[in-house]
Amino acid sequence: MVTGRTEHGRTAGFSSSGIPASFRSVRGLGLVIVAGATAVTGLRAVELVLTWQLSARLQEWEADGFGAAEDSLNRWVAAVGSVTWIAMGLQMVTGLLFITWVYRARRNAELLCSAQHRLPGVWAIVGFLPVVNWIVPPILVDDIQRASDPATPRNAVRLVPSSTTRYVVVWWFSFVLAATLYFLAYLLSIGVRRGLEDSAVSAGAGLLVHVTGLILLAIAAGLLTVLLTRIGRWQAERAEYIGADPEPEAAVVAPAAAPSVPGVGPVPQLAPGGLGIVAAALSCTVVVGPALIAVASPNYQTVRDTPTGTAEYEAAMDAWAPLTLLGIFVWGVTLMLAGVLFLCWLWRARINAEYLDPNVHTLGRGWTIGSWFLPLGNLVLPALVVGDVHRAGRPGGAAGAGYSPLVAFWWLSWLTTWIWTWLALLLQQPILWWATTGFFALTAALLVPVIRQIDGGQQAAAEPRYAAAWQQPTS
């Protein structure tokens, strides 16, 4: 075994083939994951065919007066259930293997390229926990492919988007939408799956949604195959190159902790785009849930004033309850996703702001998250945190700069939104629900420029520091 230098400046052992000893190829694991994804897609196709056949058998069974073929029908129900459980089990195993692949590939990427990723390494595991796993995985995979891309210099300062980034976006969008549609298809076809009396409209809609989900799942599996194959090949090729021709010590670029420049603070490691854009986009989706509740709310008065059990009551309940429950579900999911992503972005922006101006912050770093969960304190403290982060990236620095009126208006809108929300929940009046919807829309509209100004200000403030600290990296 010989030794050489990695881009991080650490001495690493190399095997006789020239590959760093700490490098672990992900090509074999990627092939296993591709095989698992293909098998899951095939099982979902079988599930679709069996569900369609079960629906046809159920309609025949109903037409015959619920008679002769009950045993046969039960076997169809069991077959559909078995295939569903096998597909879900295999998908879970494939998912665990994919988490292992991300962890390995992330470590390889950090070894092969010195640029900092948008999320810390711990997110390669934590990012797959419930709720955050809707957003974090594509960011991880995109950074891995950017760092593994042969076009990215090994001593790069930042990871910029590449031609493969669009594949990551379409892959994850297809997968998430497919998962959502499968859940909806299951709800629509739950009567068919249990062998109960069937509604032709519901069963037909469930099959249509199932077909759409299968198409999206196949697209996601195909793009995942491209990503895993390409990244595995890129990493193997770059590892061999580093082992065969390690960079001399004098040419090693400084590790992730950037050097200081006389007269200015340390250089923050900023990645363009990413969390801020996603958080801003998700904040705009929160308005959908209250809007659905507002549409259904006029029927609540009829439900409350009509005697239970009457035809008018049942009609009003059918018009109010399903749409309201859907609105509550959509509202909760979008609010949680947007909130988690916003806090992740705010934490990173706060760290960057400390590099740009460590003296501007009124509160400690822990309050970036904690301020939102402190009763009464969460009426003021989060606005101070965001305001300080915004000031740190202002042109010319934060010295003497006051708090932004935009941040103040956004926070006032946020507080007003929740006042209207509580009034709407308490009084259940349509006008209050529409007011709540309007204020959620206003808050989202104000948050988008706040995020864009902070991201843009931090990028603009960091550029001169990069130029002073490093020469432009070369491949």
pLDDT in tens, 307-348: 777 777 777 777 788 888 888 888 888 888 888 888 888 888
In Å, what is the CA distance from 431 to each residue of 38, 284, 418, 427? Answer: 50, 21, 15, 10
Q: Identify the CA nearest to 278 among candidates 128, 448, 159.
A: 448
d(CA 160, CA 438): 37
Q: Identify the CA nearest to 186 among candidates 42, 48, 355.
A: 48
Q: Read off the pLDDT band of 258 (50, 70, 90).
A: very low
Q: What is the DSSP string of 207-240?
A: HHHHHHHHHHHHHHHHHHHHHHHHHHHHHHHHHH
Cβ–Cβ under 8 Å, residues 217 and 177: no
The pLDDT assigned to 6 comes to 41
Q: Tell me the residue type at 357.
A: D
254 vs 340: which has the higher pLDDT: 340
The pTM score is 0.55
Cβ–Cβ under 8 Å, residues 35 and 280: no
Sign of the alpha-carbon torsion through 61, 63, 67, 68: negative
pLDDT in tens, 136-184: 899 899 999 999 998 888 888 778 878 888 899 899 989 989 988 888 8
Cβ within 8 Å of residue 360, ≥6 positions away: 353, 388, 391, 392, 398
Q: Read off the pLDDT band of 397 (50, 70, 90).
A: low
Report the DSSP beta bridge partners of residue 3: 13
Cβ within 8 Å of residue 239, ≥6 positions away: 19, 20, 23, 25, 108, 111, 112
Alpha-carbon radius of gyration of the chain:
27
As a residue count, the chain comes to 475
